[in-house]
Amino acid sequence: MPIDETAGSHRSKGDSRTSPYETPDHPLLGRISVPSSLEAPRVARAAVTQWMPASLPHTLLRDAQLLVSELVTNSVRHAGAAASAPIIVTAGTSDGTLWFDVADIGERGTVSRRLPEGTGGMGLNMVHAAAARWGTSGGDGTHVWFELALPSALTG
């Protein structure tokens, strides 16, 4: 069963697997830890749906669900972790954006876009195309984060 922390929760400073955004100045919408499995993308999409404000445009919600799902799928496929290793998905708001961070314990190689092939290669290309900004950060495992711009009517 996934562990779900509700909006406003924060991890302790002792947890080195934190999002680059996870500070008191960047409020959390939610955080979930799911085991690396074929069910992980579906569980992450459901969490994103629960966290998003009702006033959010449906297209923005769909983008958030798709991109989180792609990054969680990448974690399941590429992290090199044991079958039940945790994947941490965190979301929040900051300066007119929704931000998302997907973290896993993977440390094999680097995270980079590649040309799509018959069996993969689309995930980071979709993130690149739909996100306002995205990137990676290391530390304890791998973090891939992205931002989606909020409509100005929701940021004021």
Total tally of structural domains belonging to the chain: 1
CATH code assigned at 65? 3.30.565.10
* Alpha carbons 98 and 146: distance in angstroms, whole number: 8
Q: Distances in Å between the alpha carbon of 16 and those of 3, 70, 92, 139, 143?
A: 18, 24, 18, 7, 11
Residue-level pLDDT, tens digit, the chain, 156 residues: 343 333 333 222 223 334 555 555 667 899 999 999 889 999 999 999 999 988 899 999 999 999 999 999 988 887 755 666 899 999 999 888 999 999 988 766 566 656 667 666 678 888 989 999 998 876 677 889 999 999 875 555
Residue type, 67: L
b or e along 61-98 (b: 16 or more beta carbons within 10 Å of the residue's beta carbon)? bebbbbbbbbbbbbbbebbebeeebbbbbbbbbeeebb
What range defines the domain where residue 102 resides? 3-12+21-155
Asked if 66 and 48 touch (Cβ cutoff 8 Å), the reply is no
- Alpha carbon distance, N-terminus to C-terminus of the chain: 37
Q: What is the pLDDT of residues 59-104, one digit of tens each?
A: 999 999 999 999 999 888 877 556 668 999 999 998 889 999 999 8
